[in-house]
Structure 1
Amino acid sequence: MPFADFTVWKYLSSIVDILLVWYVIYKLINVIRGTKAVQLLKGILVILLVRVVSEYLGLKTLSWMMQQAINWGFLAIIIIFQPELRRALEQLGRGRFFSRSGSPDDDDPEKTIAAIIKATDYMAKRRIGALISIEKETGMSDYIETGIPLDSKISSELLINIFIPNTPLHDGAVIIQKNNVSAAACYLPLSESPFISKELGTRHRAALGISEVTDSITVVVSEETGGISLTKNGELHRDLNTDEFKELLSSELLVNTKVKQASSARWNWRGKKNG
């Protein structure tokens, strides 16, 4: 009987151990979600996959190289993931690491597009400089932390008020995350490309810089000319009129969202059908 009790306790402790490890991994994924660490994590998974395949096919040199990358990977992870690790430790210290996740995203891209178009049109006519970056798949949490947190529902009035000259938040970028204004007065990395026109100022360089390291869409309103520009994937689209700007912005934000919603709808329909 004591031996049986010991076996049952061993099984229970193993189950609890697995569940706790799973929960910690789940919370760690939530911490790095919305940051550049997601893409780096995919790269690590590719290295592991190449290591297994090369070992199976007998590619000794490639297998040795991947093994060296894995051996030194722990130190590299600490260096590369330093901001994410710091954020996780801060959340652990505040008691937020084991708290419940936030509410579901309020996906309303049409409202976001309408607010941005109305605000940029107003600011362009009055030559009010603006810099608005919209997060897509690549997280921008690192850049959000450099600004003043707002976490506000998006509206054209809010965007206009932020960029009014001589106000506390007008200098820097506004970052829109999940159709909300997450932060203002954010610092974005400046592009170091030598092919940028000398007549472009800091806002355009920052818009190009963030488009080179993320897949975000960034809108610029020139303070000198009132021209509207848009950057994506390291490309700069300058001096757009209202129709061109609306079409380009909608193609980048609205179409991708509709595809995701259609995929989600098909999944839900299949689930109901099978249920």
Structure 2
Amino acid sequence: MGTLALIKEFLVWRNMIDVSLIAAGLFVLYRTLKRLGTWKIMAGMLVAMSIFLMANVLNLNGIKWIYSNLSHVVLIALIVIFQPELRKIFERAVSIRRSEISDPGNVLSRIIVDGLFALAKEYRGAIIVLPGKENIQESLSGGYILKARPSLPLLMSIFDPNSPGHDGALVISRGLFSQFGVRLPLSHTAKLPAEYGTRHHAAMGLAETTDALVCVVSEERGQLSLFHKGEMWKPASKEELQTAILSHWKDNSSYLFELKDGHSRLSVFRQMAISFALAVVFWSTIIVAQGEWVERPVTVPVEYSASGPNLALVGAREKEVQLVLGGTKSHMDGVASADLGLKIDLSQFKPGTQTYFITSENVNLPKGVKLLEVIPSKLELTLASIAEQWATVVPQLVGSLPSGFKIRSVDVLPQKVRVSAPTPEKGERALTVTTTPIYLESINENTRVLCKIITPQTIQPVGKPWPDVEVNIKVKH
């Protein structure tokens, strides 16, 4: 497919939507994995995907075989390994706006700021969690239900060293002190230096798995740290801390995300552009690979339709033929031999031998697939006139009698049956039909056997089904 044809194909509105959705998926996937600290794994996945796309374009059969045989196993493994990350991606995809908190006059934010700086001044450790859009309850454990109206004395008493829940976290939700003494999940990444303790690693763990804002006061250093979306920073003043809290609440009540400054805006736009470029490359590679011309041999059965009145197909006939089909890879991938079939209409045939040439009109071809060659390309078919006549019933005796026994006589009843069959040519032997096999190895006395009649398709009974045949075998020792 040429460049102009590819651009023309891309400008179709369905394909533009297709590329945009792929780009949006890559963007959300990257941002989620980056926040969770596993973005390097995504980079490895992109490298693997690039190798596969290159193998498709260059038709590297070895690489394609490896990917096609391992892709299902790898997909299941990725789902198992990245189950938390995938869950988080879907949760973020369906996040909707909601009003998490109302803080008239900045009263609650001022209580939090004053309390945190007072705790830092007294070197008392503390963790305060401000939830975002995502549900954090599944990430929490332990603790006590409080649901109390916020106040500075209550906040200070919660983190008093003598309080039973001072080592846990305080959750502030919907304008209330909702829980305290809560345990947070520890971070599984190596973002934090070893000098930071359990409080910081717990805050980072929750910030990596949810969009909550976590405030931490270090008991050893008396320093205040903020954790959000897998990142840590230290506010330099009360005003900066209050701004961060109010901005967090605003984001979760009004917008899916807000670009706070030029650097952040440029970074997000760069990520969007890279995601869109990767989506275009991925889509283009698939389109080029699917547009590749492919030829494939397929073996299909031959189906003969009913012949004209008083005619029957006789002699040897082909039961299957090989079709060489061609088309683009996208069309050829859906071709299955079970869906194809070669039908030969015998209704216009006349008695005698005639040549039948196979064309695409005889094959049920899918859209976009062409018939390039048929092996064999023609069939020699013989039709003969059929008439009612008598056929002799011949028993089919298989094997030999036990040692010392001989057949004295074989009587068949009925000896002849009325059939509809091709008229024998001059010099041909009389028409016969056979019975189902009779095995002689087990016969050591006079025996009566009931058999069925076996005939080729060109011989049919007249007026009624085939009768059962009685075969009487007499032996002597």
User: What TM bracket, shorter-length normalisation?
Assistant: 0.5 to 0.7
1:157–1:108 CA distance, 2 compared to 1 (3 A): farther
Report SS of the residue matched to 1:120.
Answer: helix
1:119 is aligned to 2:115: yes
User: What is the rounded CA distance, in whole Å, between the counterparts of 1:169 and 1:248 in structure 2?
Assistant: 26
1:250 is aligned to 2:246: yes
1:234 is aligned, of 217, 230, 234, to 230
**Aligned position for 1:203:** 199
User: What is the rounded CA distance, in whole Å, between the counterparts of 2:255 and 2:191 in structure 1?
Assistant: 35
Report deviation, 1:244. 2.1
Report deviation, 1:122. 1.0
Report SS of the residue matched to 2:128.
Answer: strand
1:106–1:210 CA distance, 2 compared to 1 (3 A): closer
CA offsets 1:34-86 (integer angstroms, 9 cap, x no match)? xxxxxxxxxxxxxxxxxxxxxxxxxxx9xxx8xx99xxxxxx9xxx9xxxxxx
1:131 is aligned to 2:156: no
Unaligned runs of 5+ in 2: 1-67, 77-82, 88-98, 257-477
1:155 is aligned to 2:159: no
The amino acid of 2:102's aligned partner reads: D
CA offsets 1:224-258 (integer angstroms, 9 cap, x no match)? 11111100000001353322222222221245436
User: What is the rounded CA distance, in whole Å, between the counterparts of 1:143 and 1:156 in structure 2?
Assistant: 27
Does the 8 Å CA contact 2:123/2:221 hold for their aligned counterparts? yes
User: What is the rounded CA distance, in whole Å, between the counterparts of 1:215 and 1:131 in structure 2?
Assistant: 16
Aligned residues: 166
Matches within 5 A, 1:74-89: none
Report SS of the residue matched to 1:215.
Answer: coil
The amino acid of 2:217's aligned partner reads: V
Matches within 5 A, 1:183-202: 183-202=179-198
CA offsets 1:103-153 (integer angstroms, 9 cap, x no match)? xx8842333312211110111111111001111111122355521111112
**Aligned position for 2:137:** 141
Q: Aligned-residue CA RMSD in angstroms?
A: 3.0
More strand by share: 2
Bigger relative contact order, structure 1 or 2, given CA contacts below 8 A and separation 6+?
1
| TM norm structure 2 | 0.32
2:220 is aligned, of 221, 224, 231, to 224
User: What is the rounded CA distance, in whole Å, between the counterparts of 1:173 and 1:121 in structure 2?
Assistant: 16
1:244–1:189 CA distance, 2 compared to 1 (3 A): same
**Aligned position for 1:167:** 163
Q: Report sequence identity in percent.
A: 31
Report SS of the residue matched to 2:219.
Answer: coil
Higher alpha-carbon Rg:
2
Unaligned runs of 5+ in 1: 1-60, 70-75, 81-104, 261-275
More helix by share: 1
User: What is the rounded CA distance, in whole Å, between the counterparts of 1:239 and 1:248 in structure 2?
Assistant: 9
